[in-house]
Amino acid sequence: MRRRELYGDDPHGEKEFAAGLPAEKRKKYEKLRGTATRIQKALHGINRTNESGLTKPEKKEKEKVVKGMKKNKSDFKKRYGKDAESVMYATATNIAKEKA
């Protein structure tokens, strides 16, 4: 089911918000809203990352680096808290790309 079918034409109450503005500001708001919509449509479907995937040697190197980092996992936990594991994998990926 499409969002429009579920919530109608104005799911976020933007038309209601715009109706409460003075005429001049409402015109500017609607123009900006239209620009934002066009940008969203233009970006839809574009792959936003320009990075390539890892090669097999890079993947092997990454796993070696991750295993080494897991020994010092408490250090990452102190520095990054709940995001420690994702930071560890990102760091390992960067190191693997440099080495391989």
What pLDDT shows up at residue 70?
86
Over the stretch 12-49, which tens digit does the pLDDT of each residue have? 666 666 777 788 887 887 777 777 777 777 776 665 55
pLDDT at 6 over 60: no
Give the residue, 45 or 80, on which the prediction is more confident.
80
* Alpha carbons within 13 A on the beta-carbon side of 70: 7
pLDDT at 46: 62
Three-state SS for 31-93 is HHHHHHHHHHHHHCCCCCCCCCCCCHHHHHHHHHHHHHHHCCHHHHHHHHHHHHHHHHHHHHH
- Verdict on whether the full-model pTM lies above 0.75: no
Residue 81 zone, left/alpha/beta (φ > 0; ψ -120 to 50; rest): left
Q: Quote the longest CA-to-CA distance of the chain.
A: 63
Mean pLDDT across the chain: 78
pLDDT band at 11; cut points 50, 70, 90: low
